[in-house]
């Protein structure tokens, strides 16, 4: 299973959002560039970078920081956050992103995603955040009428490289037991599924690695709050039984 360290940017700083709200972000005392370097040196195989100013349509500009990280990294970078047009995807591909992540666009403009899958085979990831079983958009503000699993199946047929899945109900409530919705997503799909927002400790990584068709985990909160280290996260993921790698 691949560990994707999650670097979320707001006004040029590494942050973490409580319950998806941009109003009171936790700001970390490390630059995005240094965070990326530490994750790479710690054994990460990929970086996952989100421009939160793009997600929430703020005026902040993080593009140059992300471009700098891409140019200096020796590992591939996937980029998301407010990318909602063909031209934006073109721009990030030209900037060196290995994959582009579409979230809100995947809910509000399904034809765009399908066209992009044709233009950029194996380069488009769809991020589906679900609350009450339905996909949400615009930074978790709007709940759509689309069941998350049905939306994921549609994009699987369209040829996405994979689905990043966030179960917001679990993220909000943190029940100790169930990853039932994540398990369902992995079971129902044949394309790679990357779980997001589920890891709080190493045990969570162990559980995810044993679920069907979970090819990766996006981890931000636990790494930046030093609940786990990138070294331990990668080692735990690699100790699990071998599954088809999502490279």
Residue 142 has pLDDT above 90, yes or no: no
State mean pLDDT over 205-232: 96
| pLDDT at 243 (0 to 100) | 46
| pLDDT at 54 (0 to 100) | 84
| pLDDT at 242 (0 to 100) | 43
The CATH number of residue 8's host domain is: 3.20.20.70
Residue 66 domain-assigned? Answer: yes
State mean pLDDT over 100-127: 96
Pairing of strands 124-131, 134-137: antiparallel
Categorise residue 160: left if φ over 0, alpha if ψ from -120 to 50, beta otherwise: beta
Residue 245 domain-assigned? Answer: no
Asked if residues 85 and 112 have their Cβ atoms less than 8 Å apart, the reply is yes
Angle in degrees, CA 197, 189, 164, rounded to 5: 25
Residue 202 domain-assigned? Answer: yes
Residue 98 domain-assigned? Answer: yes
Domain residues for 137?
A: 2-239
| pLDDT at 215 (0 to 100) | 97
- Which residues are within 8 A (CB) of 69 and not within 5 positions of it... i.e. 6 or more apart? 7, 32, 33, 36, 47, 49, 77
State mean pLDDT over 148-174: 89
Percent of the chain scoring above 90 in pLDDT: 77
Angle in degrees, CA 129, 83, 148, rounded to 5: 20
Q: In degrees rounded to 5, what are phi and psi of residue 139? A: 65, 40
Residue 206 domain-assigned? Answer: yes
Q: Which residue has the tokens 């969570």?
A: 204
Residue 201 has pLDDT above 50, yes or no: yes
- pTM equals 0.91
What angle in degrees, to the nearest 10, is found between the helix axes of 180-188 and 148-158? Answer: 30
Q: How many domains does the chain have?
A: 1
Q: DSSP E strands: which ranges in the chain?
A: 2-10, 13-18, 21-27, 47-51, 77-80, 99-102, 124-131, 134-137, 142-147, 162-167, 193-196, 214-219
Pairing of strands 13-18, 21-27: antiparallel
Residue 132 domain-assigned? Answer: yes
**DSSP code, position 20:** T
Residue 47 domain-assigned? Answer: yes
- Mean pLDDT across the chain: 90
Round to whole Å and give the CA distance between 64 and 175.
Answer: 38
Residue 246 domain-assigned? Answer: no
């Amino acid at each position: 299973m691949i560990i994707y360290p999650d670097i979320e940017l707001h006004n040029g700083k590494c942050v973490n959002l409580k319950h998806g709200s941009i109003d009171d972000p936790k700001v970390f005392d490390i630059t995005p560039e240094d965070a990326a370097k530490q994750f790479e040196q710690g054994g990460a195989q990929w970086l996952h970078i989100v421009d939160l100013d793009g997600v929430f349509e703020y005026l902040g500009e993080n593009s140059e920081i992300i471009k700098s990280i891409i140019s200096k990294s020796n590992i591939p970078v996937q980029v998301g956050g407010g990318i909602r047009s063909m031209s934006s995807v073109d721009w990030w591909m030209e900037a060196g992103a290995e994959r582009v992540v579409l979230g809100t666009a995947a809910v509000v403009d399904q034809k765009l995603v399908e066209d992009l899958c044709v233009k950029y085979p194996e380069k488009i990831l769809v991020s589906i955040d679900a609350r009450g079983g339905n996909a949400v958009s615009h930074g978790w503000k709007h709940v759509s009428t689309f069941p998350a699993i049905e939306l994921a199946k549609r994009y699987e047929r369209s040829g996405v490289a994979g689905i990043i899945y966030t179960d917001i109900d679990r993220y909000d409530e943190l029940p100790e037991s169930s990853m039932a919705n994540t398990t369902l997503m992995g079971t129902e799909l044949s394309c790679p599924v990357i779980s997001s927002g589920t890891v709080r400790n190493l045990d969570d990584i162990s559980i995810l690695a044993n679920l069907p068709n979970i090819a990766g985990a996006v981890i931000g909160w636990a790494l930046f709050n030093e609940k786990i280290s990138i070294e331990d996260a990668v080692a735990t993921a690699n100790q699990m039984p071998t599954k088809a790698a999502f490279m």
